[in-house]
Chains A and B, each alone.
Chain A
Amino acid sequence: MTRISRSLAAALACAALPALAFAAEKAAPKAAKAAKAAYPTGPGSLAGMWQSPYPPDQLRQPGDKPPPVEVGPPPLKEPWKGELAAQRKAAADALAAGKPQVNNGVRCIPGGFPGMMGPVFPLEVLETPQQINITNEAYNQTRRIYMNEKQVAIDDAEPVFFGHSVGHWQNGVLLVNTIGMKEQVRMSGAPHSPNMRVDERMRRTGPDTMEDQITITDPEYLTGPWTFTYHYQKMTGYKLGEFICENNRDYDPKTDSQKLDLSH
């Protein structure tokens, strides 16, 4: 089978999923059918465009409630907890002084996984039975989840920005396991060991909503599992934009600082 025909087969299989789900529903009792008809779950149900229920790119109006905080503080052990607190204080002091510190974002380096699941910018989910791709518009960050595959051993997981993800469906929920994030990929600034693992439960929660419950497990660095949930709202009629960092006028590599280039 050629690559193109494999892709076609995958696309066709994906297109056939709603029909299969419909057939299964027909056989179900009426009450269950009514409950299920409200919104799709399981394979195919996550595909589409998603954004935060509180899109931070829109100008907020006076009186708008601030969005809820979705990610709590990392349950770091010492000495990392103290080190992160000191780093944050230094960053806040620098910010208050108008001399903000340089971070990966300023250098046009993407945040990586799991931070990229935060819908600060829109997310695009593409599903086939074999693979699910999720792209965050910010920095064109794409992660790939390989379905029904065995996770590689930590020793074989080359450290990368988005890790190595394997997933499967269970009772309408997409369960994903991810390992192998680079040392510099830091969720909320928290450092991690090479043995960190991230487990996700992604599911539809309504006709226009989805959530991703994320649990980070890293006994060497964390006092216990660190769980938080991102919420998403379906976008209709939007196509993901591209994001190539071609004109970074805010970063001065000579001084490794934020400085607006006024030479244009």
Chain B
Amino acid sequence: MSTRIPGVGHVVLLSAALMGLAGPALAHHSFSMFDNEHQTKIEGTVTKFEWTNPHVYIQLAVAEQGGAVRNYTVECANPGILNRVGWKFNVVKPGDKVKLVVAPLRDNPAGGGLLHEMVLPDGRVLNNGGFAGAATIHY
């Protein structure tokens, strides 16, 4: 809510207003459990793509040093919003290698994050809609 990202600060404020103040919460929840000030890049292989409400999720297998694989949860907007910003229910499938910009969970940055931008295997770049806000870093 207090984060001012150049050019998109009002987006963060808008989300907060819509969720808490402007009316009965139509947006599902606040994104403040994610650390938007420290967006980070993460690459991995998709293991699950949950095209569901109230949110879409990507489960990612992330290779760690030493050969271990970490399960990472990526929260996305919902099917309605994502359809309107150019996604499709089958735009991602298990086995796809994707590159993401995420805001990590504050209390478990290695476990999951909120999507800001995704680079698909074919190079297309998708955003996560206005509620999540823009990526501040890019591939």
Contact = CB atoms under 8 A, between A and B. Distances in A.
B7 A250 contact: no
Contact of B21 (A61, A100, A104, A188): A188
A106 B134 contact: no
B14 A187 contact: no
A61 B85 CA distance: 13
Given A56-B130, A96-B1, A121 B20 contact: no
B139 to A, nearest CB: 17
Contacts of B79: 241
Contacts of A248: 54
B8 A106 contact: no
Interface stretch (A3-11, A26-34, A110-118): A110-118
Given A247-B50, A249-B57, A59 B130 contact: yes
Interface stretch (B29-37, B38-46, B91-99): B29-37
B53 to A, nearest CB: 5
A22 to B, nearest CB: 34
B27 interface: yes
A242 B51 CA distance: 12
A88 B1 CA distance: 13
A94 to B, nearest CB: 8
Interface stretch (A63-71, A126-134, A172-180, A201-209): A63-71
Interface stretch (A12-20, A151-159, A163-171, A256-264): A256-264
Given A60-B130, A188-B21, A118 B26 contact: yes
B20 A260 contact: no
Interface string A230-264: 00000000100111111111110000001111101
Contacts of B10: 60, 64, 66
Nearest to B14: A56
A129 to B, nearest CB: 30
Contacts of B66: none
Given A56-B131, A60-B8, A60-B10, A111 B24 contact: yes
A105 B20 CA distance: 10
Interface string B1-22: 1100011101101111111111
A62 interface: yes
A92 B1 contact: yes
Contacts of A137: 80
28 contacts: A56-B14, A57-B81, A58-B84, A58-B85, A59-B128, A64-B10, A67-B14, A96-B32, A99-B33, A105-B24, A105-B27, A115-B23, A116-B24, A118-B23, A118-B26, A121-B80, A121-B81, A122-B80, A137-B80, A243-B54, A244-B53, A250-B28, A250-B75, A251-B29, A258-B29, A260-B111, A262-B71, A262-B112
